[in-house]
Structure 1
Amino acid sequence: MSSHLEFAHNFQIALSGDQLPVGAQADDPSDITQRFNVYRNNVAYELAQALSRQFPATQRLVGAECFAGVAQMFIAQHPPTQPDTYRLVHRVSAVLAALGSLSSLPYLSDVARIEWARSRAYQAANASPVKATQLNTLARHHRMHLHPSVQN
């Protein structure tokens, strides 16, 4: 019998392929393929939904139907390797930039990159901001000049 880690690895490979995971079982063996295909479709649907939640402005720019197609293509090309979809989405802007069919929207990948940055900022751990006095000290010692837009 295989270990849980081996089964999980085989299961992950089967999700993005056409085969069943090694060791998959059901009360009625003829149901395994149908059941796993339903599960595979549910996973793909949820990943596409996660992408649409992550990139709402991008989705509005191209339309829900187009975005769903791009999401399906993206998921097929970049299946998640971890349960955390957060690590998956950073590649979306590069995929959008490479799609010739969306070349009429040259700013689209930049919009996706901004949405990804917003999400990263939201998910980031809290940190204390640098105090203005510390910036001033740093600027004096390293001959830096703060941009005129920087304010206390």
Structure 2
Amino acid sequence: MFDILMYLFENLVHNESDMMVDQDELTDELIRAGFHHDEIYKALAWLEKLCELQSTDDNPYLQFTNSPSTIRVYTFEEQQRLDSQSQGFLLFLEQINVLETATREMVIDRVMELDTKEFCLVDLKWVVLMVLFNVPGKELAYEQMEELLFDTPDGLLH
């Protein structure tokens, strides 16, 4: 399922394709690309839920306010999916204002809905990018996240 999300994001979003794609056409394209029906439907449902989170009426996470004195405590299930490195990265993104409380919760929500056994930091970065892309008014945060994901430092690292 995550491979399909990555395929869609890289081929539709980064190529600036028309975002109004017929679901049947999209499904046919994904089948031609080698993906299975079940995984395609799961990925499309995942994306549909992500799009629903754009609306303030459907987004329970927008009730959260940013407060530097609060600490996010992860549930057992979240800890199973998000290791300490991933949790630290989410905290880092909050500290540099790429994520705020609501968008962090949206990221965690989408991570927990992924139908995958293995999940790593690179996968988390892509989920963050997908969430920020879909939240109106987060263009600067999206650009910052893109730089974190794609830019590699020049020269020697000490």
TM-score after normalising by structure 2: 0.36
Q: Which has the higher contact order (CA 8 A, sep 6+)?
A: 2
Larger radius of gyration: 1
Q: Which has the higher helix share?
A: 1
TM-score after normalising by structure 1: 0.37
